[in-house]
Amino acid sequence: MLWVDKYRPKTLDKVIVHRDVAQNLRKLVSEGDCPHLLFYGPSGSGKKTLIMALLRQIFGPSADKVKVENKIWKVDAGTRTIDVELTTLSSTHHVELNPSDAGFQDRYVVQEIIKEMAKNRPIDTKGKKGFKVLVLNEVDKLSREAQHSLRRTMEKYSASCRLILCSNSSSKVTEAVRSRCLNVRINAPMEEEIVNVLEFIAKKEGLQFPQGFAARIVEKSNRNLRRAILTFESCRVQQYPFINHQTTPAMDWEQYVSEIASDIMKEQSPKSICGQIHEHLQDFPYFNIWLR
């Protein structure tokens, strides 16, 4: 298991970064209920960590018992029926998905698929937690039509469903959706906070830092906590014990971009872009996923 997952805080009281936000979320759900929420902030700031910790705060350890499903949904699109393929991560209490993965069909995902999920109450109601949570990622990438449909879904099924929306930017989320959520701004962690997280992981792993080593990792991460942890683990795989002037490896995508730029400079022609560059992209692990 990667360190970024292994040392992800399981509960709100274990959160190292954004302690004040975690404390406010604990108060918010202290009675077993919560409003619709919109978490927004830069990539790697800790939005998903807080969301997962919040789900455990509401539903307990059973929120961790999840299954991944890749399903093809039959959706009525007026005069015809279309197939929409989506990957979902779900427990008995929540479903997580990325509607924007459906591309221009995202409004059908909101209108039909999310509506179907939202109208079904969870089996384990027990008085309080009688609602299901839908976690929607990259809401800022949804079309305007999909966001309008989302607003109607939020209103119609609020008794049985709570939506937790995750977005890098709030400005690309319509005012109609924002106004129906409690907006939670997650700022990029301060450099000192990221250093504290790296030191925590180092202690758990029994590792020793040379002076200034953690600071160099943090500087290169551009205040992206996830990237800092991944870089730290890459350094551990690269060489341990660490040395004072050990280089911090670039991320995979940075290496690919660097190689592509180098090829373009060597041969500035359509052949280079259409041939060699395309080969680089096909070799990249996430390229085929991106194409879908």
Between 12 and 248, whose confidence is greater?
12
User: Do 266 and 177 belong to one domain?
Assistant: no
Of residues 68, 29, 69, 31, the one with CA closest to residue 51: 29
Q: Do residues 59 and 10 lie in contact, with contact meaning Cβ atoms separated by under 8 Å?
A: no
pLDDT, average across residues 7-32:
87
Distance, CA of 219 to CA of 206 (rounded, Å): 23
CATH of the domain at 88: 3.40.50.300
Q: What's the order of all strands across the beta sheet hosting 182-185?
A: 67-76, 81-90, 94-97, 132-136, 161-167, 37-40, 182-185
User: Do 196 and 286 belong to one domain?
Assistant: no
Name, in order, each residue with C-beta under 8 angstroms of 131's C-beta and a sequence gap of 6 or more: 33, 121, 122, 159, 160, 161, 162
Using the structure block, give the residue that is written with the tokens 């197939």: 83
User: Do 226 and 147 belong to one domain?
Assistant: no
User: Do 110 and 76 belong to one domain?
Assistant: yes
Using the structure block, give the residue that is written with the tokens 């274990």: 14
Residue 75 domain flag: yes
- pTM of the full predicted structure? 0.81
Both tokens of residue 69?
């499903």
Question: What confidence score (pLDDT) does residue 255 get?
Answer: 65
* Helix H or strand E segment including 68: strand 67-76
Residue 246 domain flag: no
**Mapping DSSP to helix (H, G, I), strand (E, B) and coil, where does residue 195 land?**
helix
Question: What confidence score (pLDDT) does residue 277 get?
Answer: 66
User: Do 90 and 47 belong to one domain?
Assistant: yes
DSSP secondary structure, 254-289, as one string? HHHHHHHHHHHHH--SHHIIIIIIHHHHHHSTTHHH
Question: What confidence score (pLDDT) does residue 202 get?
Answer: 93
**How many domains in the chain?**
3
Both tokens of residue 188?
């990029």
- pLDDT tens sequence across 95-141: 999 988 888 888 888 888 787 877 766 555 454 557 889 999 999 99
Domain interval for residue 284 = 252-291
Both tokens of residue 10?
């399981």
Residue 245 domain flag: no
- Residue 4 Cα distances to 16, 23, 109, 231, 237, angstroms: 13, 22, 30, 10, 14
What are the phi and psi torsion angles at 165 (to 5°)?
-100, 140
- pLDDT tens sequence across 228-258: 999 999 889 888 888 877 777 666 666 667 7
Q: At what angle do helices 19-28 and 47-59 cross, to 10 degrees?
A: 30
User: Do 139 and 207 belong to one domain?
Assistant: no
Question: What confidence score (pLDDT) does residue 290 get?
Answer: 39
What are the phi and psi torsion angles at 212 (to 5°)?
85, -5
User: Do 275 and 212 belong to one domain?
Assistant: no
Question: What confidence score (pLDDT) does residue 276 get?
Answer: 64
Task: Return the DSSP state at 34.
Answer: -
User: Do 227 and 260 belong to one domain?
Assistant: no
User: Do 35 and 100 belong to one domain?
Assistant: yes
